[in-house]
């Protein structure tokens, strides 16, 4: 199949980490937050049930977000840079759609050659001292069904594909997207069973032959 609009999740898809879990580990809450994240990604309960709670517990300041931004890049999944270089050279419209924190994802997107306008994630705010001051509660990506909303806003008559590891990525099907499940970092049964195509390849290069 051939697609003109290609959308990628970030956590456990473009990078081997789950950003919110790494922030939690940094403040000694790793196990507790990882359980909440995994349950949401496996579809055990709605994303909005854990989103605000996780951030309130972690209380991430600007320094921790900058640290996470570097970690996203250092833990990039094999083949990602080559995939983005290939797609952008072909003139494809490439987007990142993530429930992660936008300021932490933007440097990775820049490294991959994407403009900020093609990064759809949740904004987080800081006060003048760099302390955590909340997140964008209006963002659709902080709640269940949000990725379908974002995809619907991107989708025209052009064929669109969503590539990701979690249940939230499957939501793109509601907006008419083709979904490629990526289990190379985390192999989730619900994604394996409901994706249009699924791979546990450790490199993302496999997607080129399918998109």
Mean pLDDT score across all residues of the chain: 93
C-alpha to C-alpha distance for 78 and 177, rounded to whole angstroms:
25
pLDDT tier at 188 (50, 70, 90 boundaries)?
very high
Let me know if 201 is a catalytic residue: no
The answer to whether the CB of 189 falls within 8 A of the CB of 63 is no
User: Alpha helices of the chain — where are they, by DSSP H?
Assistant: 19-26, 30-41, 48-58, 62-74, 80-89, 102-111, 146-154, 167-170, 189-194
Could you report the per-residue pLDDT of 52-66, keeping only the tens digit for each? 888 999 999 999 999
SS3 category, 48: helix
Q: Which two tokens stand for residue 176?
A: 């008419």
The candidate with the shortest Cα–Cα distance to 43, out of 181, 138, 151, 136, is: 181
Query: Considering the entire predicted model, what is its pTM?
Result: 0.93
User: What is the tens place of the pLDDT at every residue in 94-144?
Assistant: 999 999 999 999 999 999 999 999 999 999 999 999 999 999 999 999 998
Report CA torsion sign: 77, 165, 191, 189: positive
Residue among 11, 21, 165, 169 flagged as catalytic: 11
> How far is the C-alpha of 173 from the C-alpha of 30, rounded, in Å?
31
CA-CA distance, 32 to 127, in Å (whole number)?
A: 27
**Residues making up the chain, counted from first to last:** 211
What single DSSP character describes residue 25?
Answer: H
Catalytic residue among 4, 9, 61, 63: 9
Of 85, 84, 104, the C-alpha closest to 95 is: 84
| Catalytic-residue membership of 11 | yes
| CATH of segment(s) 5-209 | 3.40.50.1000
pLDDT score for 31: 87
pLDDT at 45 over 80: no
């Amino acid at each position: 199949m051939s697609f003109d609009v290609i959308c990628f999740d970030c956590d456990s898809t473009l990078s081997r980490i789950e950003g919110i879990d790494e922030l939690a580990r940094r403040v000694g809450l790793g196990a507790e937050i990882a359980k909440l994240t995994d349950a949401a990604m496996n579809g055990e309960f709605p994303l909005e049930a854990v989103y605000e709670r996780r951030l309130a517990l972690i209380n991430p300041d600007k320094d921790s977000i900058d640290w996470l931004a570097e970690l996203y890049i250092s833990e990039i999944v094999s083949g990602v840079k080559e995939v983005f270089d290939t797609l952008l050279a072909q003139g494809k419209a490439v987007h990142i759609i993530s429930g992660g924190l936008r300021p932490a994802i933007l440097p990775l997107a820049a490294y991959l050659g994407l403009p900020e306008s093609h990064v759809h994630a949740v904004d987080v705010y800081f006060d003048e001292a760099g302390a955590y001051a909340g997140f964008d509660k209006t963002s659709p990506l902080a709640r269940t069904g949000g990725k379908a909303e974002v995809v619907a806003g991107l989708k025209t008559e052009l064929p669109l594909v969503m590539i990701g590891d979690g249940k939230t990525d499957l939501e793109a099907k509601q907006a008419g997207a083709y979904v490629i499940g990526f289990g190379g970092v985390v192999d989730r049964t619900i994604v394996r069973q409901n994706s249009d195509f699924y791979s546990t390849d450790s490199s993302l290069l496999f997607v080129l032959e399918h998109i």
